[in-house]
Amino acid sequence: MQLPTVSVRALLPALVVLGTAGLVLVLDLLPPRARKGHLAVLSLAGIVLALLSTTWLWGEETRAFHGMIVLDGYALFLQLVICYAAGLVVLLSIDYLPERGLESGEYYALVLFATVGMLLMAAAGDLIVVFLSLELMSLSLYVLAGYFRARLASGEAAMKYFLLGAFASAFFLYGIALVYGATGTTNLDRIGASTGRDSLLTIGLALLLVGFGFKISSVPFHMWAPDVYVGAPTSVTVLVATGSKTAAFAALIRVLVSAFRGGQLEWPFLLWALAAATMTVGNVVAIAQSNLKRMLAYSSVAHAGYMLVGLTAGGALGAGAVLFYLLVYTFTTAGAFGVVLLLERATGEGVSLADYAGLARSHGILALVLSLFLLSLIGIPPLGGFVGKFYLFGAAVRSGYVGLAVIGVLNSAVASYYYLRLIVYMYMREPEDAPPPSATSFAGGLALAVALAGVIVLGVMPAPFIDLAQAAVTPLLR
């Protein structure tokens, strides 16, 4: 039996983050024991290094470990997005955790382990690797969701996330087994090359979609999302909403495009229905929410629906649109949750609509920044969210899914109602009681500045990023 040669290059970004995680665990045992700020800085440095390594590897096309790891432009693009998400999470955590007296080394180590899982999902060329990295990511996130152990909601979030996540993983694993039974392989390329088209394969794909549907929080597998988003520490919510969703989409697109090509199975109809249901349910239910974290949770469900529109459209254009949208969505959602995080009281309160009444007077800049993120989520030009939606719906119209595009834009109009309602509270109402405590966090401010810069640059100068996204997906379609 021949042992595979180890390719460091193909794993480089993940290895960098993994090494940092190990280092964090070791340094956590050494003095100073009281303060953990240096561990946060180290984690951030590791993530930035991984981010730089993705740009250094740009243009790389490596298949390693018998095709189990595929480091191509597609993987690198998504690893870049994941690194941004993880970096923003660490920045937002630096002052958030000590204020609540809960700073610890294992928090940062777990964030880094989750990031490793995400990075590997983007580069997975085999269903087994998809599963393993999915589990690495999920297990770390289950623990992180329950990180505020004194809080009931946090414990509930972790429990719910874990139980439902375990179900989803079981479905996913069963799906892999059926696909293996139908094709005799778990390698995505070889599944794609197999010409068989039997019911076993169809059922296998359906089960895989259940597993992915859970991770991207698509209707009807979204039930966990609101509770987990609300109960988890807000910094963890950011990671669940951006990084894990990006990683799940990364693996989903690769599985659909390289293993289950359009002609082989009739999956566009399935995706069509998922997209329409996810957008509509997410937006309609979000209207009824008065807790901002819950509202943003449903909004993130709706945004998964928009991205499913791009997936339904298919082709280089559809997949490229999803990639671009993931980039915009990561900045926008991390930014919106970031403002909520900075204004949250140490007790976990201060996240309801009424708490934001008159925010423009007490925190003018935060109110303005949050408004810009919300406008980008609605899709108002010239912000990134507009170009993202333009691109997604453009792809849908191109592929003949005009009906789905119409459902999508009408959903945007519905969504504008609840996003604008928050702006109404901030700008057009007087504060009801004492304004939220003033948030002074240099790191948090830096995170918001990075996210805002991303949203504006992607809205005003999207052309280079669109080209990158297109170039990233073309190798998949060969």
Nearer to other proteins, 226 or 462 (CB): 462
Minimum CB separation of residue 325 from other proteins in Å reads 15
Number of H helices, E strands in the chain: 20, 2
Least CB distance to other proteins at residue 381 (A): 4
352: helix, strand or coil: strand
CA 211 to chain centre: 15
Contact flag: residue 398 with other proteins (CB under 8 A): yes
Written in H, E and C, the secondary structure of 115-145 is: HHHHHHHHHECEHHHHHHHHHHHHHHHHHHH
410 binds other proteins (CB under 8 A): yes
Q: What Rg value do the Cα atoms of the chain yield, rounded?
A: 21
Does position 273 interact with other proteins (CB under 8 A)? The reply is: no
Q: Which of 424, 449, 453, 477 binds other proteins (CB under 8 A)?
A: 424
Question: DSSP character for 101?
Answer: T
Stretch that binds other proteins, among 148-156, 186-194, 273-281, 394-402 (CB under 8 A): 394-402
Q: Phi, psi at residue 63, to the nearest 5°?
A: -115, 120
Instruction: Evaluate whether 275 touches 308 at the Cβ level (below 8 Å).
Output: yes
**Residue range at the interface with other proteins (CB under 8 A); choices 118-126, 230-238, 297-305, 414-422:** 414-422
DSSP assignment of 442-463 equals: HHHHHHHHHHHHHHHHHHHS-H
**Closest C-alpha to 109, from 45, 23, 16:** 23
What residues between 444 and 463 interact with other proteins by CB under 8 A?
Answer: 462-463
Measured between alpha carbons, how far is 28 from 24 in angstroms, rounded to an integer?
6
Interface with other proteins includes 409 (CB under 8 A)?
yes
CA distance 78 to 14: 12
Q: Is residue 324 within the footprint of other proteins (CB under 8 A)?
A: no
Residues in the chain: 478
Q: Do 110 and 233 form a contact (C-beta atoms < 8 A)? A: no
Report the nearest approach of other proteins to the CB of residue 454 (Å): 18
Cβ 74 vs Cβ 252: under 8 Å = no
Stretch that binds other proteins, among 99-107, 117-125, 205-213, 401-409 (CB under 8 A): 401-409
Q: State which residue, 258 or 412, has the beta carbon closest to other proteins.
A: 412
What's the token pair of residue 61? 């096309």
Can you tell me which of 133, 169, 412, 441 binds other proteins, judged by CB under 8 A?
412
| Residue 429 DSSP label | S
Contact between 405 and other proteins by CB under 8 A: the answer reads: yes
Residue type, 329: Y
- Please report how close the Cβ of residue 409 comes to other proteins at its closest, in angstroms: 4
Nearer to other proteins, 169 or 371 (CB): 371
| Residue closer to other proteins (CB basis): 35 or 361 | 361
Residue 163 or 424 with smaller CB distance to other proteins: 424
CB of 414 to other proteins, least distance (A): 9
CB of 275 to other proteins, least distance (A): 15
Using rule CB under 8 A, residue 34 touches other proteins: no
413 binds other proteins (CB under 8 A): yes
Instruction: For residue 284, state whether it binds other proteins (rule: CB under 8 A).
Output: no
Q: Does 397 bind other proteins (CB under 8 A)?
A: yes
474 binds other proteins, rule: CB under 8 A: no
Binds other proteins by CB under 8 A, chosen from 153, 189, 427, 475: 427
Nearer to other proteins, 24 or 472 (CB): 472
Contact call for residue 375 and other proteins (CB under 8 A): yes
Among 233, 470, 472, 476, binds other proteins (CB under 8 A): 470
Where does 7-158 show beta strands of DSSP type E?
A: 62-64, 69-71
Task: Report the C-alpha gap between 349 and 357 in whole angstroms.
Answer: 15
Residue 477 binds other proteins, judged by CB under 8 A: no
CB of 164 to other proteins, least distance (A): 34
CB distance 313 to 382 below 8 Å? no
Helix (H, G, I), strand (E, B) or coil at 221: coil
Peptide bond into 436 cis (omega under 30): no
How far are the Cα atoms of 10, 16, 121, 173, 432 from residue 66, in angstroms, in the given order?
Answer: 12, 22, 16, 21, 62
Query: Is residue 167 close enough to count as binding other proteins by CB under 8 A?
Result: no
Distance (Å, whole) CA 281 – CA 277: 6
Binding to other proteins by residue 376, rule CB under 8 A? Answer: no
Angle formed by the axes of helices 199-215 and 267-287, to 10°? 20
Cβ-based nearer residue to other proteins, 26 or 410: 410
At position 127, the amino acid (one-letter code) is L
Residue pair 282/305 in contact (Cβ under 8 Å)? The answer is yes
Does 365 participate in binding other proteins (rule CB under 8 A)? Answer: no
Among 339, 416, 443, 445, binds other proteins (CB under 8 A): 416
Q: Candidates 117-125, 280-288, 322-330, 427-435 — which segment interacts with other proteins by CB under 8 A?
A: 427-435
Residue 381 binds to other proteins (criterion: CB under 8 A): yes
- Residue ranges that bind other proteins, judged by CB under 8 A: 375, 380-382, 386, 390, 393-394, 397-398, 402, 405-406, 409-410, 412-413, 416-417, 420-421, 424, 427-429, 462-463, 466-467, 470
